[in-house]
Each structure stands twice: as structure tokens, then as C-alpha cells.
Chains A and B, each alone.
Chain A
Amino acid sequence: MVGAACDGCLRRTDLIAAIAPCIDIEWRRRSAPAGVLSLPDEALIALDPRGGARRRYARFAPAAARAAAEAAGLLTVCRCSGAYPDRLRELDDPPAVLHVAGRAAVLDVPDAVAIVGARRGTGYGLEVARALGRGLAASGLPVVSGMAMGVDSAAHVGALERAAPPRSRVGDALPGPATGGAPTPVAGGTSGGAPVVAVLAGSADVPYPPSRRRLYARIVEHGCIVSELPPGAPAFRWCFVARNRIIAGLAALTVVVEAAERSGSLTTADFATQLGRPVGAVPGPVTSRFSAGTNGLLAAGASVVRDTRDVLDELLGPDAPRPAPVAAAVPLEPRLRGLLDAIERGHGSLAELAAAPAASAQVLRDLTDLELRGLVRREFGGRYVRAHEGRA
């Protein structure tokens, strides 16, 4: 039964939470950060110079830990349980217990894809992350990420667009294809699209960062939130790196969308490489420091990810079944084509698109037309950008 972690694993989790500050120190002391979490319980206890951890370890009451998790609305799955995701066992230091808010069953779905990237995402990175999340969810693949600001959140939001599709349309006033055909699950998706998994550094009952409360609630509804730490445990710096190993561990493929030279999301790629799992990266402009990390990954041999199709090729092989292609592209009239070209070149503001005041009425009309066809997206403020993976 899901929701019953064994005493030993709960005890170890409690120990890790107790000595979390000591781990922070130890983590910084060791040149290679890995390894601390794979130490046996005794060695972990020894990290605490004051001995409080030993007393707490000795007095640990599993029933109380279970009650605390239940009170926080969390299920617990330990590595002794059959419900524990097998892929996670391949880690050197698999988390003893996973605390799960939401539907724990979705953890077992194969072919999950991690989409990670910088918190300071550019418009480009956010758009690509969102499109990948949407495309993968439409293909029935669960999306795993860390709910951080920027790329992580964009990937979740994109996936949720498929997991929680908008209400049916009242009427199509304009001719033109919709944003996508009906999703055809290729790998164990649920009826409403694929589940969404967010792995948090702190405990799973607290949305972090707090500004993502609404996103958190939607993920709990359409997937699950996972954490290694028991409820109430604060996140230390090492927890974010430890979280990244879980993301890489849960995913069959890790895609880095946008990362600067020394971005935390590169550690996720490192973990995936150590696990022998494929890593993909989205190419960015070579002049952009926000893409230096991902471009570096590509130079080091990561596979190129341009769109959902690249991910599916990498993951399932070129012959695997595909979601039905979106409705065949309708050729655009030259006027719309020209407008779309300008937007693709980055001239997305009204002032750039309408050269004469007399022309602006037509441009205003055409912009909404393009938007309804799913080819462009209106950003906050009013700049138009090319929607990724919109067909034209």
C-alpha cells in the first residue's frame, strides 16, 4: 500500500532533517559534494559534533513521524516499498523516503522527462520551456521539474495546459486551426494529459518559492509534489542540489532549456550523466550569457533539443508512435506571413509592426488572427513573440 514507509527509512529521513545544518557544512568542506547522503546512519550521526542527533536517533518514534506526514497531507513511500520508483534506486544515494503531496501513483510512470533551467529565464527560454512542457504532456509523458522561478515554472505551466485543458470552446468565429489536435497518449498518460511532477528542496507541504502557491495547488491537483525531507523541515543550500539528483533520478531524459555558465540546473545534467541517462539541451544564441551553460552541454555531447519531436526521438527512438500531428498547416496569406516574419525577427511591438498609422488597424486585426491560430503569443505589456511549435 502506498503511504506506508518502513520504520528504518523514516528514522533515516528524520536523522537527515536533524543534521541538515551539519550536512550543509560537510557539503561545503568536501570538494566533491556527492557522497554525504550515501553515508550510513552512524557516519551521519557523527557529523553532529554536539550529539543531539544521536539522542534524537535513539528516541525516534516512527508512529509520530507517520502522524506528522499524515497531518501535513503527505503520503510516504520508502525505498523498501514496491511503490518506490525503480529509476530512483539507481542513484548512489536514493532518498530513503519520498514525501508526496498529490497522486503518488504518477511517480511510477515510465519515460518521465525532466525540464530544468535557469531561474532567470529569458523570454526565449520561458517560451521554449512552456512549449516543451505542453508538447510532452500532450504526448503523454510526465514532466518533472523543480517549481523554481523561471524555466522550471514555465515547464510546469506548459504541461498543465495539457493536463488541465481549458473548457471547450463556445464557437470558432475565425477559420484557422486550433492550437493542437487531441492528445494521443503514447506512454501511459492519464485521460486529461500526462501528470506533472515537481520536486521540492524543502518539505513537500510548503510551496517554495512562496510566489508559486497557485502553481503548487494546480500541480497537487494534476500530479504530485515530491520531497525527500519530512514535513516542516527547512531547506538548506545542499537540499537544492540534492533535489536536483531526485529530478534526474526520476526522469528518463533530462533537458536543460536555458542555463548560464555556472547554473544550478547544470548539476541536474551532471546527475543524469552519472546515471548514464541521456541529457538534452536547447541551443541558444552564442552571444547570450544566459545560454552559455546549455551551449556548453551541447559542445560536450548533449543531444540537441529544438522541440518536442527531438525529445521524443531521443527518448523513444525515431520509430516510436507519435501523437497525431497538429492539423496541417494552412498556408498564410502574404500579409500575415510578412507580419509573422517580422515577429520572428524579434520586432514584436506595435510600433515596429505598423509603419503608418493608417496601417495599424489592419495590423491590430492580423495580430489577433495570428494569435488565434496559435502562431504568436502576446506577452505581458503587449509584445508579440512567435509561439514555439505553432505550425505555419
Chain B
Amino acid sequence: MSLARVNGFTLDGVVARRVWVEADIRKGLPAFTVVGLADKAVREARERVRAAITNAGFVFPDARITISLAPAHLRKVGPGFDLPVAVAILAASGELGSEVLADWALAGELSLNGDVRSIRGVLAIAEGAKRHGIAKLAVPRGRAREAGLVGGVEAVGVDELQEVVEILRGTREPAPLPAGEAPASPPVDEPDLSDVRGHNGLVAALEVAAAGGHNLFLHGPPGTGKTMLARRLPGLLPPLTPREAIEVTRLHSIAGLHDGAGLIERRPFRAPHHTISASGLVGGGGQPTPGEATLAHHGVLFLDELSEFTRPALEALRQPLEDGHVTIVRAQRVMVFPTRVTLVAASNPCPCGRGESACRCSAVDLSRHQRRLSGPLLDRIDVSVTVARPSAHALSNQTAPRSAELRPRILAARDRQTERLADTALTCNAQLTVRLLRERGSVTAAAQALLYDLHDRNRLSARGHGRILRVARTVADLDGADEVEVDHILRAASLRLDDQSLELAA
């Protein structure tokens, strides 16, 4: 036997693509070549595989070895090819029969002594295996539970090359999956709203933002609790659905942020520093990797000090916020990363952050700060509140309700939205366009008239108009009301983000 073929997978953005790992061994001067658009880590597999095969007690064939990774046009990345390459060589040299190989997919890095080491993106690989109808998947032991999350594929955790070969030969039973503790839902260690003191008035704003999926702007001096409030938002959002949880786990696994211990059930909360680059925020790079917006998919993306972020970074985030995904185009390939996030942006009133009476900012500083704030992202924000320093009295007397007390109302409001939008691709009020609002918002005539009145008085922009209407729809959903009435508009208007008022303030 001098030819063998093994199923492997490579990550292409956030999905795994099947790669045939073919080994051919023939007489000739000893050589070991890998062809098929392999990146550095894959080409280096040669050295690891050679050592691992020998140290695992097998004979490394003293012949001309060619490894082909097909399809040849797809770029192969990562060290996960070590295991399939080693097994392909062993099969080609007759160490094991190649009949079973079609049922298996293999992924794992090898250490020089033959141990199988952990890799990223196992969940995506398992999904890929399922898609291709491959029955069994051997992955590093620590990742077996992650692979097992995908039903329909038998995940096998392995520790060393020797073990893999024995399992494939059928001389050894795969070790059982490590038992996982029962999923706790909702997660117990989520920061709870009741930790927040002195901001009871803002609970309504958080509730609305959570219920409608609205992006939120927190405006206030440093040290007043903006970050603390933002951190409580994921706990107010409805729990991840199983499908969302798988998606989040897959993305985090690909980014190397997941320990392989099972499903991620918390909504992600990502708070990138303001020095982040555009590609760090939305994904990119020569080998495009997901950015913070993708890591916050189905969760909360918190941008503290909004005005300090670079303009290109904020510009880059605009479209992904609107579309729920970002498309990254590189020569020869296009990648789509999901970015369905709830944005929470926070800013100081002025660059020095000392507050009005002690402020040392010049007119120019202030103007620049406000101009940067007025940038592209504010268009996407529906709810805005000022976070003031709580008084000592409020700090000692006000305790916010527990997140669990708010969640039923929020869930009920979400259910109403899902029902209303069942036949669209949308999921929550924040995604409603003005046209859809008109068609399905059920706004009463009196409410519409009030909105026009506000519009004229405050010189609202058309965008501001839509914002109030969207938020009013959510307020009505929280109340369980079918129609948007005057009362809902009144309440929504005092949560609006008014970009027109910025013009004067500068």
C-alpha cells in the first residue's frame, strides 16, 4: 500500500472546510514534501510528524513521501493537520488499513513525542464533519466535549498518536467522553443588576435596551458607574438559544478564547480598549481573523470612551452594526463574520473628564471631542441616558432590582417582537426600519401627532424620528400593548439620543 487518504479540516474564517490529506509513498531518494497551498504551520508539520511517528514507536518510511492537501486552491492554515498527515503516512506505509479512514476525520497538533495537543476551532470542525456526513471525529482529548456538542458526529478524544492508530485499527475502544456538569441556566456568576447602587432611574433605560435590542449610549463623568451598568446588560438579555450558544462557542473556539470545556451559555461581553484598530474591531488581517464585534456576536460590545476610538475603527463598525455581519474581502476569497451585537457606548462629557465646574478643556478640545462623538456610530444608537454621580443618599438607599426580576418582562417583550417579525429576517425592534414601523408598528394617530409635535419643537432629524418610534414600540411591548400610544411616545422621547443638540453644544 503506498497511497492513503484522510479527512482533515481547515478553518476558513469562521467555518471549517474539508481537506483531503493524501499521502503517497514511493521508492526514491528519501524526501518529504507537502503540496497544496499550505501555510507555514502546515509545512512545519513535516518536522513534527517525522519526530512524532518515530517517537511513538512506528517506523518513518525511508522513501519519497508526498503529502497533497486538496482542494489545492484552498489555503490551509494551522497546526491541526499534524494528526491527519501522520495517520495518512502510517496508512500509506501499511501500518493500518485504509478502509476505516473514510469514516473518520482527524484534527490535532502533534508534539515531538507523539502526544496530541489542543487546537482551536474544534466545534467548527465538528460541524464541518457533520456537514460532510463523516461519522467519527478524533480530536485532542481536552476538546472532545466541544466536538461532542454537535450531534450526529461521534467525537473521540485522544491523547497520543499511538492511541489514534490503535483506535483506527479497532484494537482499542475509544475512551468515553469526559462527563460535563449539567448546564447551569441562567449562568450564576453573571454580574447582577442588584449590585448597582444609586442608579435606579436608569433601570428603565437598561430594560428598554435589553427588551428591544437597542444600542445604548451612556454619557457621564468618569467613575459614575457606566462600565458597571454596561456589564449588567448581558444578564438582562434573554438567555442564548441552543443554536446561538453553539455559534458563540464556535466563534470563541476559533479565536482561541474557549477552553473546550463545553458550551458557552453566557452572552459574550467584549470591551475592547479604545486604541484598537479597525481590523481588530471588525476582523481582518492577512489571514482574516474575527474581530471584537464578532466575538461579541449575540452579546454586548462595550466601547468605553467612544470619542477616543479612531475614526477608521468606528467607521468600520458602522456597517456591521447595521447588517449583523461583516464581509471581509481578500485577494481570492471573501469571508463573512457574524456581528449581531448590542452596542453600549460610553463617553465623558469632555476630554478631561473633570466635570463642568472643574473642566480644563479648551473650546477647541471640547469641539473636537463632540465632533468625534457625533460620528458614524451615534446613528445606530437608539437609547441615550446621562449617568450622573449618585448622591451619598442614593448610594446608601437605592438598590436596583435583581436581574431575574426584570427578565420575565423582557422575555415577554422579546416574544411579542419575535411573533410580530416572524415572517422577516429580523428579530427585534432595534432592527426595524421606518417603513416596517409604519406597516407593523401599529402607531395610533394621537401618538403619531405627538411625534410630529416633538419633531418640530426639537428639530429632530428624520433619524431621530425613527429612533423614538422604535423605542416607543419596545416600551409598548414591555407594557404588553398592541398599539403604540401617546404614553409610549412620551416615555421613549425621554430616552432618545438627540444628535441635533450636539451642534449647539460644541
Contacts and interface: CB of A to CB of B under 8 A. Distances in A.
Interface of A: 118-123, 126, 130, 148-150, 153-154, 157, 166-174, 179, 209, 211, 214, 287-288, 347-357, 360-361, 363-365, 367-369, 371-372, 374, 377-383
Q: From DSSP, what is the main secondary structure of chain A's interface residues?
A: loop
Interface residues of B, number: 65
Contacts of A149: 363-364, 366-367, 506
B79 to A, nearest CB: 49
Interface of B: 198-205, 217, 219-220, 347, 349, 356-357, 361-364, 366-367, 370-371, 373, 384-388, 390-391, 394, 397-398, 400-401, 446-447, 449-450, 452-454, 456-459, 486-487, 489-491, 493-499, 501-506
B504 A130 contact: yes
B362 A381 contact: no
Contact of B453 (A150, A172, A378): A172
B227 to A, nearest CB: 15
A361 B478 CA distance: 11
A173 B486 contact: yes
Contacts of A166: 456-457, 459
Nearest to A167: B456
Which 9 pairs between the two chains have the least Cβ-Cβ distance? A381-B219, A354-B201, A119-B363, A173-B450, A171-B449, A170-B452, A360-B204, A349-B388, A364-B491
6 contacts: A347-B388, A348-B386, A357-B201, A381-B217, A382-B219, A382-B384
A171 B489 CA distance: 15
Q: From DSSP, what is the main secondary structure of chain B's interface residues?
A: helix
Nearest to B479: A361
Nearest to B450: A173
Given A364-B495, A372-B454, A126 B349 contact: no
Given A211-B506, A288-B357, A372-B457, A171 B452 contact: yes
Contacts, number: 184
Given A357-B401, A360-B200, A383-B219, 8 more contacts: A123-B356, A157-B504, A350-B205, A351-B202, A355-B397, A364-B204, A367-B494, A380-B498
Contacts of B200: 351, 354-357, 360
A374 B456 CA distance: 12
Contacts of A173: 446-447, 449-450, 453, 486
A149 B447 CA distance: 37
Contacts of A153: 504, 506
A382 B501 CA distance: 10
A354 to B, nearest CB: 3
A368 B490 contact: yes
Contacts of A354: 200-201, 204
A339 to B, nearest CB: 11
Contact of A349 (B385, B497, B501, B504): B385
A169 B455 CA distance: 9
A382 B386 contact: yes
Contacts of A374: 457
B491 A126 contact: no
Given A118-B363, A349-B386, A364-B204, A380 B505 contact: yes
Nearest to A179: B457
Given A120-B361, A350-B205, A354-B204, A174 B450 contact: yes
A24 to B, nearest CB: 21
B398 A355 contact: yes
Which of A348, A363, A368, A377 is packed against the most chain B CB atoms within 10 Å? A368
Contacts of A365: 487, 490-491, 494
Contacts of A287: 357
B235 to A, nearest CB: 16
Contacts of B388: 347-349, 351-352, 383
A89 B388 CA distance: 51
Contacts of A372: 453-454, 457
A26 to B, nearest CB: 27
Contacts of A361: 204, 491
A366 to B, nearest CB: 8
Given A351-B394, A352-B391, A355-B398, A368 B506 contact: no
Nearest to B205: A350
B357 to A, nearest CB: 7
A357 B203 contact: yes
A41 B347 CA distance: 54
Nearest to A381: B219
B453 A169 contact: yes
A149 B456 CA distance: 25
Contacts of A378: 458, 494, 496, 498, 501
Nearest to B391: A352
Nearest to A178: B457
Nearest to A377: B501
Contacts of A371: 454, 457-458, 493-494
